[in-house]
């Protein structure tokens, strides 16, 4: 590794989670729904992927790709005409990868009542101009909530890596 590359790896200043956070607001249209008039899971997954990709790109200021999305549970149906809020934030940045947490809530348009729809933990990897993983800035959590998310993200990363190792062993 040459000196220029080493200095580019160690010179990235940390960034705060709020610098890259994303809030996306959508409305559920008839074309987004099934025969019961509730949203398709795939539509919510698409919004999660987009919001998380924007947050990861803002953090890295690089092209990013989705490496994985942890188990995703839909907690409540969302009806046509309801408003959906998708909030994404970088919880933790490792060397080239970032965990982006995404929370989805729905809002009844007439009453304003909100319901938690889903929470997802996604991992994005930053790529250089040759399509190879490239270093990202570290995350500097500031609030108690950001610190809690940061340490929980480290634990999830460790468990993802253990699972990947187990699956590799199972394939041998």
Note the residues at the interface with ligand COA (CB under 6 A): 65-68, 94-97, 123, 125, 133, 160
Name the nearest CA neighbour of 39 among 115, 121, 124: 115
Closest CB 10 distance from ligand COA, rounded Å: 15
* Residue of minimal Cβ distance to ligand COA: 94
Closest CB 90 distance from ligand COA, rounded Å: 12
Name the residue nearer to ligand COA (CB basis): 108 or 160: 160
Q: Return the exposure string of 56-66: e unless at least 16 CB atoms fall within 10 Å of the residue's CB, then b.
A: bbbbbebebee
Name the residue nearer to ligand COA (CB basis): 27 or 65: 65
- The DSSP letter of residue 32 is G
Name the residue nearer to ligand COA (CB basis): 78 or 98: 98
Closest CB 97 distance from ligand COA, rounded Å: 3
- The four Cα atoms 88, 92, 97, 101 give a dihedral, to 10 degrees, of -30
Closest CB 162 distance from ligand COA, rounded Å: 12
Name the residue nearer to ligand COA (CB basis): 66 or 115: 66
- Other CB atoms within a 10 A radius of the CB of residue 1 amount to 6
63-69: strand order across its sheet: 22-27, 83-93, 97-107, 114-127, 63-69
């Amino acid at each position: 590794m040459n000196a220029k590359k080493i200095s580019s790896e160690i010179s990235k200043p940390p960034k705060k989670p709020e610098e890259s956070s994303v809030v996306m607001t959508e409305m559920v249209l008839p074309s987004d729904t099934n025969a019961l008039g509730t949203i398709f899971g795939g539509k919510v997954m698409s919004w999660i992927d987009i919001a998380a990709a924007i947050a990861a790109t803002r953090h890295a200021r690089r092209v990013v790709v989705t490496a994985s999305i942890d188990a995703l549970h839909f907690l409540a149906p969302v009806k046509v005409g309801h408003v959906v809020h998708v909030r994404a934030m970088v919880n933790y940045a490792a060397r080239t990868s970032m965990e982006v947490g995404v929370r989805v809530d729905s809002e009844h348009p007439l009453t304003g009542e909100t319901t938690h729809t889903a929470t997802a933990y996604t991992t994005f990897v930053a790529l250089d101009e040759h399509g190879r993983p490239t270093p990202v800035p570290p995350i500097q959590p500031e609030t108690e909530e950001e610190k809690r998310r940061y340490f929980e993200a480290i634990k999830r990363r460790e468990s993802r890596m253990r699972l990947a190792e187990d699956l590799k062993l199972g394939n041998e």
